Chain A
Amino acid sequence: MWPYAIRRVLGAIPTLLIIIALTFFMMHIAPGGPFDAQRHLPPEIEHNIRAAYNLDKPVWEQFLIYLGRLMHGDLGPSFKNHDFTVSQLIEVGLPVSAKLGISAILLAIALGISLGTIAALNQNKATDYGVMGLAMIGITIPTFVTAPVLALIFGIYGLHFFGHDFYLPAGGWNGGALANMILPITVLALPQVAIISRLVRGSMVEVLRSNYVRTARAKGLPNHTVILRHALRAALLPVVSYLGPAIAGLLTGSLIVETIFGIPGIGRYFVEGAINRDYTLVMGVVICYAAFVIFLNLIADILYALLDPRVRFA
């Protein structure tokens, strides 16, 4: 396993470089620059500012300078958030985004697997149709609809039970208080719960028909042993394969969710950075995301092999 992991990490370096180059040049091709929106400056001063950030040099030279700094772990200063370096911004934002994302994916996995298994065990019965119907709704309604609707219901109107009112904060982070996290996590996790439960149901139905589950039953094992020990592990394989795309889905989802709920994660920086042509900030967030996706895909592949001993690291 370790040689495989090392090979994969080494293989990730060219991938990262390509991503960095593509983003860098695409950002610079886009019309406008970081200082265009500011009030008009005298030409000498503007020239000095551009020189200070190396913007007067040809793009390929800027790219080499950027790469050189990156090798030393320096993501450069933010063009827009004055007095902050990109690293500092990411240091503040990443833990917030990570807390949100990881909670959402764990919730999605736990709920998705349970619901999918329950549906498969009650194949073609009311429970199955109910779960799968809900899942279909979860997939079709986009995040930018569920987020404001849930904020409206739980944040503005509130729920009224037995004379008590229940409200959840409709926005803000509040230092990561649980109440503030519930709505964003729910919105992020919903589509993933739906997709994972459908995946698990499909593979579980197939595994339950397999010869080795029949063997397990013929051995006289109790039902829960047959399902948990023999069937579930094989049924989880498609979920593990889906984890890579799921993480990507969560990241794009978090851009919307962080913006709507006003959460100070890196997703928000990404949107703002792209609009303001804050070159270094966008680059920093992209590198961060790319490394994250590559790393989690590696974890998913290793997990796959641990679940299925037939897979060999090659």
Chain B
Amino acid sequence: MSKPILQIRDFNVLFDTHDQEVHAVRNLAFDIHEGECVGIVGESGSGKSQLFLGALGLLTANGRATGSVKYRGKELLGLPQRALNKVRGSKITMIFQDPLTALTPHMTIGAQMMEALRTHQHVPYAEAQKRCLEILDLVRMSEARNRMGQYPHELSGGMRQRVMIAMATVCAPDLLIADEPTTALDVTVQAQILEIMRDLQKELKTAIVLISHDMGVIAGMADKVQVMRLGEVVESGTADEVFYAPKHDYTRALLDAMPRIDRPVREGHAILQPLSTIGAETQLLDVEDLKVYFPIKTGGLLFSKTKPLRAVDGVSFSLRQGETLGIVGESGCGKSTLARAVMKLIAKTHGAVVWAGRDLADLQSPDMRNLRKELQIVFQDPLASLDPRMTIGESIAEPLVSLRPELSRADVQDEVRSMMSRVGLDPAWINRYPHEFSGGQNQRVGIARAMIIKPKLIVCDEAVSALDASIQSQIVDLILNLQAEFGMSMIFISHDLSVVRQVAHRVMVLYLGRIVELADRNSIYEDPRHPYTRALIAAVPVPDPKAERGKPHVTLAGELPSPLDSRAQLTFLQSKVIDDPDAEQYRPRLIEVATGHFVAEHDAA
């Protein structure tokens, strides 16, 4: 075996905090060899990011790293900054999770790339520019020459991450450390980025460390895997060993918690009640041709012009009692706007929302307030959506207090306590504040707050997206059990197609404000008809290395087009496009290809 590039021994990362010393990484030891991809997987707080920040001297001021990190036999820990900078950024480079905040906002892409190159290799300006362009081509950046003069905010998330990768590879490093490189990205863009990294590894023989919480991403990339938990490596081995014969309980639990797009049912977890057992055929909600447009200012000479941004553009669907509708789509597809317009939390531009036979548009405020008893919502960020100055008991009680004023204080307290124990919170915590809880516990509070009024419809807007896989699986179980018990309908919005597969009876796929496909869940996942649905499903990584190695991930190249361009919505029906960005375009019809399976018109592939 070749000599290792990076040799880590007795490695510890410690942070001094006000209360105590936090031991973020404990006694780590492993090697990284030339050209291989090492996956480091773990949940938040496992120390997986601090490990490499510590190795490269990038810890915050209160952190320190001890032990030994050798790059080709040369000790890096304790090196003065000037000497460390000869390796850092040149031989070992890093890319980070959030490409918007990780790039300097006031410098052009070109300036940031050239700076990396010219600091380490003293090449003349023209030569540096040429090299940067080559690298941008390598990461498949369109119009590379123009991009060099653009600022990060002018690029999409996927483009920015390409820039980060280009910047990290322009000095031809031996080792590229990618810290959650695709976590903030949409699934089709994630597939593109992972493919670029795979190609770089192959073409440039760069070794890659891939840090991720997503077992699917790791499965598709890594040769070796280290599973980390609370600062320690609990299991390590080749990808096949770790995925197919996990030895440690924690690894097994992680794999078990991962929702899988290729499996509708997870062993040993709560399952979705089939609609027939709920028995209800009552139509609760009927949404007819709903449109929500936002006026967007575009540059004019003296006075600015406005253009409509079609966030939701003619969506119709209905929902039965006890049914769950999953809404999936990538960022900017209008899924959250749709849910908010349905709940009358934002104003619609056109269309009708009929709830139990009554058009919400006709309801005045007292009636609408009454109706809030039946419609509740759970938001994505559990901590941010709870009032930090209210105890969780007060937060949970609030819908009762304002919508059912006839209840006595003692009754409210009783209701709150019983709902708390129902969602898995100890009723003794009633007087605690949100900051005392973890994300998963706060999301239980959010669910208790929505459920306490016994609503008929709950909208879950990315309700489990911010949570670690193990917590996410518990919350999904909770939601399914609550539905089995109370029989409420749900609209479950998520960008994560795997989670939606576990919870939704029917699934709606949105693309730029329009439905491209709507069907029951098995038809959507097993027989997707629309090219966009197919691309989405193909792009979802599965925690199964053999399956991942074989399958094509990228079937949708390029970027999501600008929603201000009226041609964008016809990406899959190019034959009908009128070539004018402001023109009124053809509206694709929804065709029922099988009972209850609707597909938008599209060009044959």
Contact = CB atoms under 8 A, between A and B. Distances in A.
Interface of A: 3, 6-7, 123, 209-212, 214-223, 225, 229-230, 233-234, 307-310, 312, 314
Contacts of B98: 211
Contacts of A225: 115, 119
B93 A234 contact: no
A212 B106 CA distance: 11
Given A209-B60, A214-B96, A309-B153, A219 B104 contact: no
Contacts of A217: 57-58, 88
B594 to A, nearest CB: 48
B151 A220 contact: no
A123 B119 contact: no
Interface stretch (B297-305, B333-341, B549-557): B297-305
Given A123-B61, A209-B60, A225-B119, A310 B105 contact: yes
Given A210-B101, A312-B299, 14 more contacts: A3-B302, A7-B302, A211-B98, A212-B101, A214-B58, A215-B96, A217-B57, A218-B93, A218-B94, A219-B115, A220-B116, A220-B119, A230-B107, A234-B104
A314 B116 CA distance: 34
Nearest to B300: A3
Contacts of B575: none
A7 B302 CA distance: 7
A6 B302 CA distance: 8
The 8 closest A-B pairs by CB, nearest first: A220-B89, A219-B89, A220-B85, A211-B101, A220-B88, A212-B104, A309-B151, A218-B94
Contact of A310 (B53, B153, B297): B153
Given A7-B302, A310-B151, A219 B106 contact: no
Contacts of B115: 219, 221, 225, 229
Contact of B301 (A3, A210, A308, A310): A3
A206 B105 CA distance: 15
B297 A218 contact: no
Nearest to A10: B302
A187 to B, nearest CB: 35
Interface in B81-125: 81-82, 84-90, 93-94, 96, 98, 101-107, 115-116, 119-120
Interface centre among B56, B105, B153 (most CB of A within 10 A): B105
A127 to B, nearest CB: 15
20 contacts: A3-B300, A7-B302, A210-B101, A211-B98, A214-B53, A214-B96, A215-B94, A215-B102, A218-B56, A220-B85, A220-B87, A220-B89, A220-B120, A222-B119, A223-B81, A225-B119, A233-B106, A309-B153, A310-B151, A310-B153
B167 interface: yes
Given A218-B56, A220-B89, A212 B302 contact: no
A42 B404 CA distance: 82
Contacts of B151: 309-310
A239 to B, nearest CB: 15
Interface string B43-79: 0000000000100111011000000000000000000
Given A123-B61, A309-B151, A310-B151, A212 B105 contact: yes
Contacts of A214: 53, 58, 96, 102
A123 B85 CA distance: 23
B104 A216 contact: yes
A214 B105 CA distance: 13
Nearest to B94: A218
A263 B300 CA distance: 48
Nearest to B119: A221
Contacts of A309: 105-106, 151, 153
A212 B98 CA distance: 10
A10 to B, nearest CB: 9
Contact of A308 (B96, B106, B299, B300): B106
Interface string B117-151: 00110000000000000000000000000000001
A212 B115 CA distance: 14
A214 B60 CA distance: 9
Interface in B506-544: none
B85 A221 contact: yes
Nearest to B117: A219
Nearest to A308: B106
A219 B119 contact: yes
Contacts of A218: 56, 58, 88-89, 93-94, 96
A314 B304 contact: yes
Given A212-B101, A222-B119, A229 B96 contact: no
